Amino acid sequence: MKRHSRLSSVLHALLHMADHEGPVTSKVLAQCLSTNPVVVRRTMGYLRKAGIVSSDRGHAGGWVIKADLCSITLLHLHEALEEPAIFAIGNHNEAPECLVEQAVNAALAVTLDEAEALLLKRFSEITLADLAADFSCRHAAVKHGKN
């Protein structure tokens, strides 16, 4: 099953931007992400609204990262993107009359709440600077034939 989220796409785009001097156009980012520039502009608009990126129009325009990479966490990006619930699984019926289904719902709710809290905590600990450093190490290894 292929999984996809705007978060993974935005991280991809931001890492390209962080590795690039100057503004990056929606067209270039769309090529990196194998998507349409309109999708890039729509998605990046969420980040602009959150103060993470800015954009300028015109020949020398494009998207730039405004915030310090060390201050941008995966949690900030997840929240800025207004992503849906972390997990797509949930209860079949939120208010069942069946006692069996009530027991199932209770077990699922507790487990999913705990898993979401753990994931969001981890998201708050990972910065864009961490990912950029990992990319730099991987790039250096490939460049020097160590991969």
CA 54 vs. chain centroid, Å, equals: 17
Domain ranges of the chain: 6-143
Topology, domain 6-143: Arc Repressor Mutant, subunit A (1.10.10)
CA-based radius of gyration for the chain: 19
pLDDT at 78: 93
CA–CA distances in Å: residue 95 to residues 85, 88, 108, 111, 116: 19, 18, 14, 18, 21
Q: Could you tell me the two tokens for 133?
A: 């450093």
H helix runs in 50-98, sequence order: 74-80
Q: Could you tell me the two tokens for 49?
A: 């609204």
Burial of 63 (0-12, 13-18, 19+ CB in 10 A): buried
Cα separation of 109 and 85, whole Å? 13
Lowest mean pLDDT among 30-39, 64-73, 137-146: 137-146
Sequence-distant (≥ 6) Cβ neighbours of residue 135 within 8 angstroms: 15, 19
pLDDT band at 147 (very low <50, low <70, confident <90, very high): low
Cα separation of 30 and 9, whole Å? 10
pLDDT band at 144 (very low <50, low <70, confident <90, very high): confident
pLDDT band at 35 (very low <50, low <70, confident <90, very high): very high
- DSSP category for residue 70: G
The per-residue pLDDT for range 37-65, each reduced to its tens digit, is: 999 999 999 999 999 999 998 887 899 99
